[in-house]
Structure 1
Amino acid sequence: MSRLLPVALAAVLVLAGCSSGDTGASARTTATAGITGDVTVFAAASLTESFTRLGKDFEAAHPGVKVTFNFAGSSALATQINQGAPADVFASAAAKNMTDVTDTGAVTGKPVTFVTNTLEIAVPAGNPARVAGLRDFAKADLKIALCAEQVPCGAAAKKVFGAAGVTAAPDTLEQDVKAVLSKVSLGEVDAALVYRTDVKAAGDKVEGIEFPEADKAVNEYPIAACAKAPNPGGAKAFIDYVLSDKGKAVLTKAGFGAP
């Protein structure tokens, strides 16, 4: 009997070791269980490049997770969410559009402002119309593109024109800032107002001109999980990633300001 005791004790220790290992694996599985499947993010058009990068980085950090984006004007996105579109996360280019969804209960968590942005004049490469500043937007002989007023970049444009005492004469009003930027890149207009991040993203296709009144209309970007998020765990994880140091580094490189 005495010779059997060490063998029995060893068996118990081996079983205990396996049990401990299984518990750790189970804990890890539980910890990551909420970060699986698809995460659908509705984001302002001006976030296209930076959020696309963040989405790829997030997927790499969470194998098996797929991030799907819907980029558009914030006002259009807010309407879609209020009408029941399945979204996990909403990132708006203005507080007003976030309020539009929190007032209806479509977003119940507290939105967090994660970046800021300001406007910049965008002209085609070489600036063929010799646009010098904001006052040129009142010239009838120039082709001008702006965002529609209900879109955050359009609301910001209205503020800066008011601050400068300029009555703009736009030839076209677009529903998101990327549509405006496209008009400039293709040389269809002489000048436009877009975000400084869009000018930077366009590279050598456009040139940017800063103007002092831009500080009169700083856009704050809030982000929040949707109340009926199909993947609430994924929504929280993605928002946490955007707010992390890695997320901030990507957004800062894109030209966004700190909140």
Structure 2
Amino acid sequence: MRIYIKDKPLRIKKPDEVGDLAQFNGIVEDDDLLINEKLFKGNLLIRNATHSTIKSVLFIMHNKKLKNLSSITVLTENYDEAIDYIKSKFKILKAGGGVVYRDGSILLIHRLGKWDLPKGKIEKGESFVEGAKREVQEECNIKVRVNQKICTTWHTYTKGDKSILKKTVWYLMDCLDDSKMKPQLEEDIDEVRWMSENELNVALYNTYMSIAHVYNKFKKLKKTQSV
């Protein structure tokens, strides 16, 4: 499981899921020293993590300014229990979004100063597919057809006194009609734009890490389809 906290990835993995340790700048064992945020820099690996360690990691990532941190990978033998523990600390919301693809271009929205992919909250009674399609069509004022699932992302944020963990399921979509395309202003979207791969690579410098992750998953999916 990969969770984005303040746009930095926290990966929860089983010990056998990590091979090359050279990818990490620091490797520590589970101990009381983890409450010291000075350890949180570069790509950090934490081994033999307990629930107490995970709680400390969540607190530090939410409450400290970790300018030198790139990512944290936590290894635990009790993977399922760890995931359940993390989820118990948040209110979970469901969302759906789409990578709308047409003739080598992808549809991006510009919202609150960042380039983003269209997405939104799943309404009561909706499936992820239904909600993702509705949100993409509403935010961009286009018609789409859902093709297949790309991936799932998780990210956290705070709303009032509540800690939210949002699960977003992403789908590859085909554009059926963009003749009336326009941004949904009431959702703080000020631009909707088709971008080529070169344009998108520039836009990724001003987006969220979770969106870059979705794009990379999309590229891998398209590559397998072209083989």
Higher helix share: 1
Higher relative contact order (CA 8 A, sep 6+): 1
Do these two structures clear the TM 0.5 threshold for a shared fold by scoring above it?
A: no
TM-score by length of 1: 0.22
TM-score by length of 2: 0.25
Higher-Rg member (1/2): 1
Higher strand share: 2
